[in-house]
Chains A and B, each alone.
Chain A
């Protein structure tokens, strides 16, 4: 048996106590496409980062070309012939194609005169090798996404890469572009490269991978040859997990429809013909893969990217949600995914954050009533059990879970009837997580309607009354709590229903 190009042996990694990978082993041979699949958060990106040296493992070893590499770093990994192509290209947009290639490939002799003609010639050769019809003098910012991807591949090939890692390379490609990419992958494979292919699209995995490794919750559950491996096998392997968390969800009799979307589209956000109804007293889960348009749909419902077609009805009346201010005035509030960047103002104290979306409730004629503001803040701090040394602390000084609670408090202080929660427990410790879940339950009992976006299937399944699954900017299907399983959700999200 030939020696593997790359071998990861018993890799474990935890981020501040949260396990990302446990005892994962993986190998790649020359002339092979080896796919890695798994749900969001299964540990795929961490594994790649360890192979490229961006992240150091807590334990385990990397073996490249038969040599053990005790301490991998990005430069070393590149010099060992490992190249990675991420979803977002890492190119210099204001430089030309040839210059971008030169940056990656030419030496670091800083004061050497640039040989422009040689640089262009080399670029042209490389581009030709990967079948990219690009002029070397074009500015990278004028390239389309697939063209940038080809340039990335040319960079890798030119750098004599032996291992090429591709992370969701087809996420933004059309079908024809995917075909072209696959032909290139096939050619590189037959040239003797080893390719690691990461994708959510199982049909692609089945089409081009020789072997498939399935990660689940940071563990490698199987490495199988493609032959005899069906899609349902893969889905089973990806999800086969007991619901380990206990969710405080109780059935609430749903009330009237609070918010209804009819055929809503928003070209700027990539939302197409979305129709859903959200009832009072209901938690509607919004599931889907990364990039399926969940956050974008929330943005449209909140007026960040207003709908350009279709109707939005609030309590049966047609409304135009043109800005977040309008949404808040209508009683729709949104707690965004990236709370540090969007949910809270880090430098401001807790009361100022809590009342930011509801200043009209604690002020008269434009004058803030500081006592009322403090009272509001301390009421929510108590109700949500925000742990802070002092109310006047900047939110920056709080832990992630407590920052999230402040973001929630800000939304609740505006007295919404519809609450959109985007990944409400992402990066939140277990204790705060169940507190947030309990809070959601008590809110729907009080008649609020909650739309919860979550990438965590157990959370979606455990907390939702109904689950809408998105794919490609639209609703692929809606499942009741009874009919939803990890398998049925994932099948809808992947498009194999």
Chain B
């Protein structure tokens, strides 16, 4: 297959170069404490990006996940304070996220409003609704066993790393071997052809929204457990980080193409580039501009190579 895993290779190479640069110029970057912080800060991005990859593969997008993340975080904290056991808090938070995804998915698939518009609206509704309900008040006085979810500050990163690795592995495997994933790729590549092959493309899109929602809830819970209070304004700009990492990892914004491995690499690269710039004494003001430029370069590379490839296949076909 022509150019398979080209993007993944390119991003992995970028990470390698960045690492090399840091080893030489800023060895302080590689201290355990710094890496631990970096991992925990980017964990929500990674978990949500897994779901976002699937959703974008079906040809849709969800920009409300930042708001959903905040809502789920507050809900998790409130529930924990009311004395609910952790297992229930976990299920309820993921369930709430899934329900929010269901609403987005239903409006997109069955009411047929474009997903960018639907989730722009729910992004605002959830954010403002949360502000109105909480009056900006954070959730304080969390039960003692909520922080670190009953683990210690030392063991927690190990546990969540295992969870993240398990999720990553499951999603990477599922995207290749599950019928449910295959129909997502078909739906995103060519909705008409998928429909004619008997695929219920609306249900497929709906389920991608729900999976993303559940992962958003899970990420919100894991993130809340890091602190002893939960902010009402969490997740601002989270959707941009997630979508950027997904796009950088090679997922086609028009659907049908993308791998979990690429997304994971995209998360690592974008997560590392900001702090790396700080270590390299580049002004923090440049961080987002550099991130933006990288994403633009990645997407432009996609468009250009896509065009070149289409041209090449046309030539080949004419020869055949």
Contacts and interface: CB of A to CB of B under 8 A. Distances in A.
Given A366-B179, A367-B178, A347 B198 contact: no
Contact of A344 (B182, B193, B316, B317): B193
A341 B316 contact: no
A414 B190 CA distance: 20
Interface string B209-227: 0000000000000000000
Given A334-B196, A336-B196, A357-B198, A346 B189 contact: yes
Interface string A385-401: 00100101110111110
Contact of B316 (A304, A342, A367, A397): A397
A356 B186 contact: yes
Contact of B177 (A357, A360, A367): A367
A80 to B, nearest CB: 33
Nearest to A338: B192
B117 interface: no
B311 to A, nearest CB: 12
B317 A359 contact: no
Contacts of B318: 16
Given A304-B195, A356-B182, 12 more contacts: A324-B197, A336-B196, A341-B190, A347-B257, A348-B186, A352-B182, A368-B182, A393-B1, A396-B310, A398-B317, A400-B317, A402-B320
Nearest to B173: A367
Contacts of A345: 186, 189-190, 193-194, 256
Contact of A359 (B182, B190, B316): B182
B227 to A, nearest CB: 38
Interface in B174-212: 177-180, 182-183, 185-186, 189-190, 192-200
A410 B313 contact: no
Given A359-B182, A368-B179, A397-B317, A323 B200 contact: yes
Given A347-B257, A366-B178, A367-B178, A356 B199 contact: yes
A393 B198 CA distance: 23
A324 B193 contact: no
B189 A367 contact: no
The 6 closest A-B pairs by CB, nearest first: A325-B198, A328-B198, A357-B197, A399-B320, A356-B197, A324-B198
8 contacts: A16-B318, A323-B200, A324-B196, A342-B192, A346-B189, A352-B185, A352-B186, A398-B320
A479 interface: no
Contacts of B200: 323, 325
A346 B183 contact: no
Contacts of A329: 198
A349 B1 CA distance: 9
B177 A368 contact: yes
A164 interface: no
A88 interface: no
Given A363-B179, A368-B177, A368-B178, A342 B196 contact: yes
A327 B316 CA distance: 36
A342 B180 contact: no
A284 B78 CA distance: 67
A446 interface: no
Taking residues whose C-beta sits less than 8 angstroms from the other chain, chain B's interface range is 20 to 34
Contacts of A352: 182, 185-186
Bin the interface of chain A by size: 35 or more
A191 B1 CA distance: 63
Interface of B: 1, 177-180, 182-183, 185-186, 189-190, 192-200, 256-257, 310, 313, 316-318, 320
Among A328, A347, A357, A402, the one with the most B-chain Cβ atoms within 10 Å of its Cβ is A347
A382 B186 CA distance: 24
B234 to A, nearest CB: 35
A401 to B, nearest CB: 9
A31 interface: no
A370 interface: yes
Contacts of A368: 177-179, 182
Contacts of B316: 397
A394 B313 CA distance: 10
A281 interface: no
Contact of A399 (B177, B199, B317): B317
B192 A366 contact: no
Contacts of A285: none
A347 B189 contact: yes
A325 B182 contact: no
Nearest to A333: B198
Contacts of A325: 198-200
B313 A397 contact: yes
A473 interface: no
Nearest to A366: B179
B82 to A, nearest CB: 37
A390 B2 CA distance: 11
A394 B199 contact: no
B54 to A, nearest CB: 15
Nearest to A364: B179
A343 interface: yes
A352 B185 CA distance: 10
Contacts of A394: 1, 313
B186 to A, nearest CB: 5
Contacts of B196: 302, 304, 324, 334, 336, 342-343
A323 B200 CA distance: 9
A366 B320 contact: no
A327 B198 contact: yes
Contacts of B198: 323-325, 327-329, 357, 414
Nearest to A392: B1
Contacts of A366: 178-180
Given A345-B190, A397-B317, A370 B182 contact: no
Contacts of B320: 387, 398-399, 402
Contacts of A302: 196
Contacts of A348: 185-186, 189
Contact of A341 (B182, B186, B193, B197): B193
B317 to A, nearest CB: 5
A367 to B, nearest CB: 6
A349 B318 CA distance: 20
A353 to B, nearest CB: 9
Contacts of A346: 189-190
Contacts of B180: 366
A356 B194 contact: yes
B259 to A, nearest CB: 13
Contacts of B182: 352, 356, 359, 368
A328 B196 CA distance: 9
A284 to B, nearest CB: 21
